[in-house]
Structure 1
């Protein structure tokens, strides 16, 4: 097999994707072509919120993360993957949007705080892909990802959503420059949530969880704010080498045919037999009637 065959096939399909097919383009990116890197990017975006003192204070006061760190982490991922896999206007997608709106209805915060939290899910994974993935994101993928979160923001009544990825990056960088800072609440949330990452690691690497997170964040300002150890040259070199080898292997393999996420399916220690939508979200937030079916569009 030609070493670039899978790369060429993936890029060509996504580069010629029509603008009005943005949901399908983003779905292909997240569930197939760049699935592993998008998942890791979503994971890192979750931690990033703890470096904003006002957001950390709100999350700490809610106490959901401290009481159920594993459930909060997995449920956050499930919500975003349900929206991507099923579509924003599908029955399951609408159920997830309604859940998000109910969860955030009484949450304090400025419009910029809410906008930042949403844009971490766009900017952080894209930047990880640009730096470490087996191929660069196509222009059409950047547009599709931006449109997805613009549409989600509209359904969540978040004003001021950027119209392009470049605008999203500009807001993201300006917000972090003004707001990232250490806080006791942020460091507590980081300490509590590290166990979620540790559970995904081989046992021999679990003591290094915090240093690995620092290495992946690759931002001294963030690691200081979160109370994490500074990443060293050895761990940075190990990460780069490991991803280089992984990428070389990935390029030689056929493109994925099974999606990275199947709605309602098993796949985690938290929901080993699968899950229903009424299991997702905080226990004290009521659910609307749950739609049936878990088919991909």
Structure 2
């Protein structure tokens, strides 16, 4: 059997997926075919909010990131992956939407601020994939990803969601063109969360954490706003070479058989024995009980 057969078969399914199968298509993209690059994109989208002074001020005032940077970072990822893995209409998905709405209730910010934060989770991972992944996203995947975040936005009462990925990217660029700027609060948030990235790096690379982040962001205006060192030709070339090598290896391996994320499963130093949904989110936010049969004992 050709070792690339499953990769090719999955790509064909993704290319020909129907619009009605948007949730399945996006799940396949995020948890299997392009899982590692989606995770990198989600990771980078988290930092981008710190470069918007109005959003940074709100996050800084809340103080959750400064006090518990590891928990805030991991919980943010867990919420989005729970929604992707289980579906927006599942019990676990509804619990995560309820948590998001509860956490953001009475949070100051304009309609465009809330829309931008949500669209970072769509546009930033897609652009990373387009530039660095082992293959390009398909038209069906772009449509499915857009539909996923449109549906999530509707459940969070975020108005005027863009009708397509192209429209979302256009809003994203226009918003950043007029809102990205340095702020003391944004740089404090960035400093507080660098340790999360450092903890995931091999020891010898940890002193280079800020340089690696700025190279992956690849946006001088953004890195200046965040107080990060400017990327240079050497760091950009090293990243490009490393990713090209990784992509060559991926293309020669079978499609992964296990999802990139399994709800409730251990996967970090924060939750070494796994987690239940009532552990996710700010420590001072009450949770409604969720009984799905999938909770850890």
State the TM-score, normalizing by the size of structure 2: 0.97
Distance 1:234 1:290 in 2: 50
Question: Is the 1:65–1:72 Cα contact (8 Å) retained in structure 2?
Answer: yes
Does the residue aligned with 1:252 lie in a helix, a strand or coil? coil
CA–CA distance in structure 1, aligned partners of residues 294 and 108 of structure 2: 33
Is this contact kept in 2: 1:7–1:135, CA < 8 A? no
Cα offset for 1:201? 0.3
In structure 1, runs of 5+ residues without a counterpart are none
Contact 2:119 2:172 in 1 (8 A): yes
> Match for residue 102 of structure 2?
102
Could you tell me which residue of structure 2 aligns to residue 12 of structure 1?
12
Q: Matches of residues 94-133 of structure 1 in structure 2 within 5 Å?
A: 94-133=94-133
What is the Cα deviation at residue 57 of structure 1? 0.2
Q: Is the 8 A contact 2:4 2:253 kept in 1?
A: no
Cα deviations across residues 76-111 of structure 1 (Å, max 9, x unaligned)?
000000000000000000000000000000110001
Moved over 2 A (4+): 1-10, 291-295
What does the per-residue CA deviation read over 1:154-193, in whole Å, with 9 as the maximum and x for residues that have no partner? 0000001011000000000000001000000000000000
Question: How many residues get paired?
Answer: 295
Structure 2 partner of 1:21: 21
Partners of 2:3 and 2:254 within 8 A in 1: no
Q: Name the counterpart of 2:216.
A: 216
Aligned to 2:226: 226
Give the corresponding residue for 2:258. Answer: 258
CA positional deviation for 1:252: 0.4
Per-residue deviation at 1:5? 4.2
- Give the match's secondary structure for 2:251: helix
Tell me what 2:138 maps to.
Answer: 138
d(CA) in 1 for partners of 2:221, 2:4:
37
Describe the SS at the equivalent of 2:20. Answer: helix
1:196 aligns with 2:196: yes
Deviation by residue 1:172-217 (Cα, 9 ceiling, x = unmatched): 0000001000000000000000000000000000000000000000
Alignment partners' CA distance in 2, 1:11 and 1:134:
12
Q: Which residue of 2 aligns with 1:248?
A: 248
What residue ranges of structure 2 are gaps of 5+ in the alignment?
A: none
Distance 2:237 2:7 in 1: 25
Residue 10 of structure 1: CA displacement? 2.8
Measure the CA separation in 1 of the matches of 2:168 and 2:30: 19
Cα offset for 1:9?
2.4
CA contact (8 A) 2:37 2:133 kept: yes
CA offset digits 1:43-80 (Å, max 9, x no partner): 00000000000000000000000000000000000000
Cα offset, 1:285, TM superposition = 1.0
**Alignment-derived partner of residue 289 in structure 1:** 289
SS in 2 for 1:162: coil
- Relative to structure 1, the CA distance from residue 285 to residue 15 in structure 2 (aligned partners, 3 Å threshold; closer, same or farther) is same
Residues of 1 paired with 2:128 and 2:35: CA distance? 12
Q: Is residue 258 of structure 2 the alignment partner of residue 236 of structure 1?
A: no
* Residues 7 and 254 in structure 2, CA contact (< 8 A), matched pair in contact too: no
Q: Tell me whether 1:149 sits opposite 2:149 in the alignment.
A: yes
Alpha-carbon distance, 1:232 to partner: 1.1
Alpha-carbon distance, 1:2 to partner: 5.5
Given that 1:264 and 1:276 are in contact with CA atoms closer than 8 Å, whether structure 2 keeps it comes out as yes
Q: Deviations over 1:12-55 (max 9, x none)?
A: 01011111010000000000000000000000000000000000
Matching residue of 1:39: 39
Paired residue for 2:166? 166
Between the aligned partners of 1:130 and 1:250, the Cα distance in structure 2 is 16
